[in-house]
Amino acid sequence: MSKPGDYAAVRADIAALLHQPEYDDGSAGPVLVRLAWHSAGTYDAATDTGGSNGAGMRYESEGGDPANAGLQHARVFLEPVKSAHPWITYADLWTLAGVVAIREMGGPDIQWLPGRTDFTDDSKLPPRGRLPDGAQGAEHIRFIFGRMGFSDQEIVALSGAHNLGRCHSDRSGFHGAWVSNPTRMSNSYFRLLTSLDWTRKTLPNGVEQFVHHDDDLDEDLMMLPTDMALLSDPHFAPWVRTYAQDKEKFFHDFAAVFAKLVELGIQRDADGNITNADNERGGYHS
C-alpha cells in the first residue's frame, strides 16, 4: 500500500494497466477516458447537481443506466489500483485514470486535482438522461453541453476524444472506430471528419450511423450522427476545421476543457481543497 496522497504511485499503476492485449484494440485507455467523461458529464449547472464527485456509477441507478453500458469494464480494470491504494476515492481514481490514459496514449498533460469524495448511498445521484444521445443532432448537443456550461468551441474540442476507442454493438448499438489508430491521441478525428466522404448506413440492429469504406482498412471507419452534426452546424464547423488543421491548438484546448469537465460541480479554496464535498453526508451542499 502506498502512502496516502502518493498520486504519482497511483498514476504509475494506472499507466501500467493500460496495455490489455486481449481487450478491444489492445488498450484499456479509451474506455477509461469514457468512464471519466461519463462520471463528470451528468453535471447540471442550474441545480449544481451531478458531476464527477460521488462516483455514483457504483450504484445501480447510475451504473446500470444504458448510457453507461460497458463502463463496468473500465471500473474492473481499475479495481487492482483501488486495492493497492485504498486511500484514493473512486471519484478521484476514475477522473485521474482518464487523465493518465490520455497522456499515455500520446495526448496532452491535463491538470488534475484530488479531493473528490464517494457518496455513501444513492440518495444524491443525478437522474438518468443527462448524457448525450449519439443518434441526435446539433441542437441536442448544445442543450446537453450547454447545461454543463460549455461553449460551442469547448464542445467541439471535447468531441475530439472520439479520436480514441470505438463503438460496440452490444453497448451503444453503434459499431466501429472513428480513426484507424484508436489508441493514439491525435487530431485525426477532425481531419477524417472534414476530408473523407461519409455515407449513412443502417446497421443490422436498425441503428443508423455514418461510415467510410476503404479497401485498405480492416473495417469501415464510423461517425455518429452527433459527430456529423459538428460538421453541418455553422457554429461548430469552424472549430472542427481549426482543429483539423492545428493539432497543437486542439491538444491545448482539449487539455483545458477536459480539466474543466472533471472539475464540474467542485468548489475549491485557494489551496485547492474542495469546500463542497462531505463524505459523511455524501452530498455537495454545505
Residue 228: all three cell numbers together: 456529423
Residue 54: all three cell numbers together: 460521488
Residues 52-71 that bind ligand ZEM (CB under 6 A): 70
Cα–Cα nearest to 41, from 165, 135, 155, 195: 155
CA atoms of 177 and 189, how far apart (whole Å): 10
How crowded is the C-beta side of 244, counted as CA atoms within 13 Å?
Answer: 16
162 vs 191 by CB, closer to ligand ZEM: 162
Contact 70, 31 (CB under 8 A): yes
**Candidate residues 10, 105, 138, 224; the one interacting with ligand ZEM per rule CB under 6 A:** 224
21 vs 121 by CB, closer to ligand ZEM: 21
133 vs 246 by CB, closer to ligand ZEM: 133
Residues with catalytic annotation? 38, 178
82 vs 168 by CB, closer to ligand ZEM: 168
What is the DSSP annotation of 109-176?
---------B-SSSTTPPPS--S--TTS-HHHHHHHHHHHT--HHHHHHHHGGGGS-EE-TTTTS--E
Please state the closest distance from residue 29 (CB atom) to ligand ZEM, in A: 8
Contact 230, 218 (CB under 8 A): no
Distance of CA 121 to the CA centre of its chain: 24
Residues 98-157 that bind ligand ZEM (CB under 6 A): 132-134, 141
Q: How many residues bind ligand ZEM (CB under 6 A)?
A: 25
Contact 163, 188 (CB under 8 A): yes
Please state the closest distance from residue 283 (CB atom) to ligand ZEM, in A: 26
Contact letters for ligand ZEM, residues 72-101 (x by CB under 6 A)? ------------------------------
Residue with CB nearest ligand ZEM?
165
CA atoms of 180 and 184, how far apart (whole Å): 9
**Candidate residues 31, 148, 207, 211; the one interacting with ligand ZEM per rule CB under 6 A:** 31
**Candidate residues 128, 168, 184, 241; the one interacting with ligand ZEM per rule CB under 6 A:** 168
User: Helix or strand or coil: residue 223?
Assistant: strand
41 vs 56 by CB, closer to ligand ZEM: 41
Residues 181-210 that bind ligand ZEM (CB under 6 A): none
33 sits near ligand ZEM (criterion: CB under 6 A): yes
125 vs 262 by CB, closer to ligand ZEM: 262
Residues that bind ligand ZEM in the complex, under the rule CB under 6 A: 30-31, 33-34, 37, 70, 132-134, 141, 158-159, 161-162, 164-168, 171-172, 174, 224, 226, 258
